[in-house]
Amino acid sequence: MVWYNNPEANRVEATVTIPEHFNGYPGIAHGGIVAAILDETAGRAVMLDGNFNNLFVTLRLNVTYRRPTPTNTSLKAVGWLEHKGNRGMKVAAELLLPDGTITTECKALVVRPTSEISKSWESERKFWRVEED
């Protein structure tokens, strides 16, 4: 997935098609895959200001499955920041069908990792970017 900042809406957005081999049931995406997509999307909302060194990790993730998420369908993932703090932030995300119907949503609390953990991620930082539209 590639995420893009939408500064006008103060959101991060991406499109994704979940392949059938990630199903829980035929034609329906596995809930764990859906949760991972939302976790990544919500987490990238902390970088909406363009600071790609502002990395946080998920402390708590609450997922609400509103309806089945289909496989092999273009979906839109949208994430945003709900509350900004120095040590932790509240973020949220939704996964939408092409007609705008929400299949799944999440709210998460993300926190700053220890400097020791953060340093061990140096080689991965380039993959966490949110692209400018």
Q: For 52-81, what is each residue's pLDDT tens digit?
A: 667 788 999 999 999 999 999 999 999 999
The full set of domain ranges for the chain reads 7-122
**Residue 98's pLDDT is what?**
97
CATH class of 7-122: alpha beta
Q: How much of the chain, in percent, has pLDDT values that exceed 70?
A: 92
Supply angle C-alpha 97, 102, 105, rounded to 5: 125
**Residue 55's pLDDT is what?**
77
The alpha carbons of the chain give a radius of gyration, in whole angstroms, of: 15
Q: For 98-116, what is each residue's pLDDT tens digit?
A: 999 999 999 999 998 887 8
To the question of pTM greater than 0.95 for the whole model, the response is: no
